[in-house]
Amino acid sequence: MPLANALIAELELEGKSTLRMLERLPLDKLDWTPHPKSMPLGRLAWHVVSIPSLAVKLVADGKFDLKNGGPQPMPENPEFVETFRRNLSAIQSLLAGMDDDALKAPFVISRNGDVLNETRKIIFIRSVLMNHSYHHRGQLSVYLRLLDVPLPAIYGTSADEGM
CATH numbers and ranges of domains, the chain:
3-146 (1.20.120.450)
Residues in the chain: 163
**Whole-number pLDDT of residue 72:** 81
Residues 48-76 as b/e (b if ≥16 CB within 10 A, e otherwise) read bbbbbbbbbebbeeeebbeeeeeeeebee
> One digit per residue, pLDDT tens: the chain, 163 residues?
799 999 999 999 999 999 999 999 999 999 999 999 999 999 999 999 999 999 999 999 999 998 888 778 889 899 999 999 999 999 999 999 999 999 999 999 999 989 999 999 999 999 988 999 999 999 999 999 999 999 999 988 888 886 5
pTM, two decimal places: 0.92
Q: Is residue 139 a contact partner of residue 33, using CB atoms and an 8 Å limit? A: no
